[in-house]
Structure 1
Amino acid sequence: MDDEGQLLLTMRRKKWSFRKRWEAFRGDPVESDEPKFSLKKYLGFSNKTRAKVFVDGRRQIKQCDYRMEGSLCKASCTIFSASGDIIAQIKRKEAKSDIMLGNDVLSLVVEAGVDQAFLMGLLIMFNQIS
């Protein structure tokens, strides 16, 4: 929700999905609405969790729009564009003083021009499939 209480995203886990797939809708969707983006776990031979993101019904095309890899549990996650550029990174936040921060205090660095609601939706769904 935004600061006025308006619903920004609705996220749903796709039922009967072999590869843990989530779909996101802008606002409060009706049944006829198409998802604005979907995230699907990528099966690979790595100790990192990987996911592919498809925007605006492009999920039938094999080329994904974004790629994610890492683990929020280990406080390390990177989001790549289709061209391989890093658009966002999550790392454990480092204190500038002697204060000890918990393992769940993270820092999110986002490139300019990226929709922040979109990114937060991706991170929540990525955490669910990890």
Structure 2
Amino acid sequence: MAGNANMKPIISKMFCSSSKVVLVVRRRPHMVSGGGFVVTDCSQKVVFRVDGCGVLGKKEELILSEGDGEPLLLIRRKGGLVEALSINKQWKGYSFNYEGSRKSVFSLKEPKACFAKKQPIRISVDQREYSNSEDFEIKGHFPDRECSIVNSRGDIIAQVGVMKEVEKLMASKDLYYVAVTPGIDQAFVFGVIAILDYIFDGSTRC
């Protein structure tokens, strides 16, 4: 798994590690706190939480928080005429600053159903520090928990998979891992994972 240890943080350098990090995603049932999922480390400490529309009361809106509940990202799908005329559905991730105001951090373009086979899912970072050459793309199939986020050079920055011993015990994909490359912003990665969960009828949907 190739990476860029000098990559600038997208959400915060707090979430960038100098070594590879493997985190586990556990989906919450819809009836427990309205759905969503939690992300834990090897000691089972909760690192991130994602709340879906069952908690927020709004469709196509998600919140990524730290383990202690401090919000990091508000994620929304954009609508309107521009999207209606586009071949893509667009999602936006907004970070919260200390005053509570929001800033656009990244965009994800989800191809509409009739274009899904020809158009990959692409992510671009909405910051001056990044150029279009550092956009990202989803490779593989998220519903099977076999996919990766790659940069424009084809390097894998995060890999989604199912542990074989778990797969034998569980037919569902409610428990899976995400391996994040050194230097990569883990909060950004799980912001993208939250959108993929919603797109593919995951626990974040109502």
Q: Please indicate the TM-score interval, normalised by the length of the shorter structure.
A: 0.7 to 0.9
In structure 1, runs of 5+ residues without a counterpart are: none
Residue of 23, 36, 41 corresponding to 2:92: 23
Is 1:87 the counterpart of 2:151? The answer is: no
Change (3 A) 1:120 1:79: same
Answer yes or no: is the 8 Å Cα contact 2:124–2:132 preserved in 1: no
Higher relative contact order, structure no. (Cα contacts within 8 Å, ≥ 6 residues apart): 2
Amino acid at match of 1:56: D
Instruction: Please give the alpha-carbon distance, in whole angstroms, between the structure 2 residues aligned to 1:107 and 1:114.
Output: 16
Is 1:117 the counterpart of 2:181? The answer is: no
Aligned counterpart, 1:6? 70
Report which of the two has the higher share of helix.
2
Change (3 A) 1:110 1:21: same
Change (3 A) 1:76 1:54: same
Answer yes or no: is the 8 Å Cα contact 1:10–1:26 preserved in 2: yes
Percent sequence identity is: 27
- TM-superposition CA deviations, 1:36-60 (whole Å, max 9, x none): 10000254645xx8311110257xx
Is 1:74 the counterpart of 2:144? The answer is: yes
Is 1:40 the counterpart of 2:109? The answer is: yes
Answer yes or no: is the 8 Å Cα contact 1:93–1:101 preserved in 2: no
Taking structure 2 as the reference length, the TM-score comes to 0.51
- SS of the aligned residue for 1:112 comes to coil
Taking structure 1 as the reference length, the TM-score comes to 0.77
Aligned counterpart, 2:5? none
Answer yes or no: is the 8 Å Cα contact 1:51–1:126 preserved in 2: no
